[in-house]
Chain A
Amino acid sequence: MEEPSPFDAVMKEKAQLLLLNLEQGNVNHAMQELLSINTARNDSLYQQIGKITRGLHDAITNLDFSNADDAEETGGRDVSTRVDYVLNLTRDAANKTMDLADEATPIAAELGSESTRLREDWAKLASRQISAEEFRKLYQRIDDFLAYAEDKSGKLYGTLTDIVVTQGYQDLSGQVLQKIVHTLEATELKLVSLLDISGQMQDVSGIIDPEESSKEQQSAKDIGAEGPLPMDESTLKDQDEVDELLSSLGF
């Protein structure tokens, strides 16, 4: 149960006076008590509305949506800017890693295929099946290959180091995501406290909670993109389960 609001106490007291005045035939005084109940009710409503307004303001400020315009000055503190930052960071890191791998792949392929060709000729040399002219050419090719291998292994080394360093995006995006989680948790707390206040307000205003219709609206709002997380009982395990569900729906 919610705490009784100050208005409850006023209403009780005034109602007793109202009854007393009516019993004694003081209709004039009774009307005044009735009016003061109404005034107290309005005051209480204004107070609750004030609290809700303040709470919403705090929650919105917390998310920094109101500062979206000066996000550049504040270093992009609002949630959507932060999420954009993570999206860009992860995309750039993925692209850079793939570019680096693309640079390295032909080097590895060339090292492999030239090694294969040289080994075939080397085998001929070993079994003395080549002429003096062929030997001179083989000598030159081996010399070129060694220079190529030396140069390109340095290049591969650098590329692999760059790939490792590029993974730093995980730290940077992780820090931003941690901040977003903290912000959302704080905002959730504020919004929950708003729910309590609006519950009290419904009592004072005498509005009946249209529970059923609000539940329907709620379940309609819950359907949206959530990405891979969170996994819970409602999460399907694999494509088979998805297909199964779809077919049960007539697809």
Chain B
Amino acid sequence: MKILIVDDFSTMRRIIKNLLRDLGYTNTSEADDGKTALPMLQAGSFDFLVTDWNMPGMTGIDLLKAVRADQKLIELPVLMVTAEAKRDQIVEAAQAGVNGYVVKPFTAAALKEKIEKIFERIDAG
């Protein structure tokens, strides 16, 4: 399971990486915005994308839309981990095809639960 973590704050990338490691997922890569992440996704064989929303360059929502517009990445599971908590935003992310949405600040249990749920669905599908 190869996972890409996208967030402009390195502290947050480290936190998510740490929690994923606890769940047994050690094969992670990092990017600091959508612009850097998209070519990595297109080039590499990632199985899962965890992204922030508010980032300079290319935002997480634009990255999500770009991923869903790419035939090779259309099925890639995407978890959004963000401080954007407005109803409209969550609706937009859902319409754009997000697989999970975790609002910062989050607890370890909440993030783990969302990640496990997404993986369960992947395994079932």
Interface residues of A (CB under 8 A from B): 158, 161-162, 164-165, 167-172, 174-175
Contacts and interface: CB of A to CB of B under 8 A. Distances in A.
Nearest to A157: B22
A72 to B, nearest CB: 15
B122 interface: no
B83 A175 contact: yes
B15 interface: yes
Given A165-B15, A165-B19, A167-B15, A172 B105 contact: yes
B69 interface: no
Given A162-B108, A165-B106, A172 B18 contact: no
Given A165-B19, A167-B15, 8 more contacts: A164-B108, A165-B107, A167-B14, A168-B104, A171-B11, A171-B83, A172-B105, A174-B9
A168 B19 contact: no
Contacts of A169: 105
B15 to A, nearest CB: 6
Closest 8 CB pairs of A and B: A171-B9, A171-B12, A170-B11, A161-B108, A168-B105, A165-B108, A164-B18, A167-B11
Contacts of A161: 18-19, 22, 108
A165 to B, nearest CB: 5
Interface string B4-18: 000101011011001
Contacts of A162: 107-108
A172 B15 contact: no
Contacts, number: 45
Contact of A170 (B9, B108, B111): B9
A174 B12 CA distance: 11
Nearest to A169: B105
B7 A171 contact: yes
B15 A164 contact: yes
B54 interface: yes
A79 B87 CA distance: 23
27 contacts: A158-B108, A161-B18, A161-B19, A161-B22, A161-B108, A162-B107, A162-B108, A164-B14, A164-B15, A164-B19, A165-B19, A165-B106, A165-B107, A165-B108, A165-B111, A167-B11, A168-B12, A168-B15, A168-B106, A169-B105, A170-B9, A170-B11, A171-B7, A171-B11, A171-B83, A174-B9, A175-B9
A162 B83 CA distance: 18
| A158, A161, A165, most chain B CB atoms within 10 A | A165
Nearest to A168: B105
A158 B109 CA distance: 10
A203 B18 CA distance: 64
Nearest to B86: A75
A171 B108 CA distance: 16
Contacts of B11: 167-168, 170-171
B16 to A, nearest CB: 9
Nearest to B55: A175
Contacts of B7: 171
A156 B41 CA distance: 36
Contacts of B83: 171-172, 175
Contacts of A175: 9, 54, 83
A175 B105 CA distance: 13
A171 to B, nearest CB: 4
A83 to B, nearest CB: 17
Interface string B49-79: 0000010000000000000000000000000
